[in-house]
Amino acid sequence: MITIAFNGKALSITAAEERVLRTLEREDWAAKKAKFVEGSTPRYQNTILPRSLRRREALGINEAWKARAKSRRERKFFSDHPRCRTGIFGNPRRISAILKKLDELESGPRP
């Protein structure tokens, strides 16, 4: 677990949450729920999405349903994936800022 200073508060990020954020960044801020499942067989599969809505909100993650698509990104995602009923969407500004802080901690201070 890595703790970063974000918006004047301490924000702890687990390894699974970091993988979720990096997946959303790689998928252009919109992905199917299946992208966040890890494990080899159904018996051993587990989701890496945070269960708490408050935690998702703190990380900039949102789950949207096809029937209630609001933003242009959500409508485009559901038009590109017509059989998908739910999608996971990320706030690009918030997630990019969090990942930038994590990358800075990994690389260490620069002289």
pLDDT at 107: 81
pLDDT at 106: 83
pLDDT of 63-107, one tens digit each? 999 999 999 999 999 999 999 999 999 999 999 999 999 999 888
Q: Rounded CA gap, 56 and 50, in Å? A: 6
pLDDT of 41-58, one tens digit each? 889 999 999 999 999 999
Q: Which residues are CB-contacts of 12 (< 8 A; sequence separation ≥ 6)? A: 1, 2, 3
pTM of the predicted model as reported, rounded to 2 decimal places: 0.90
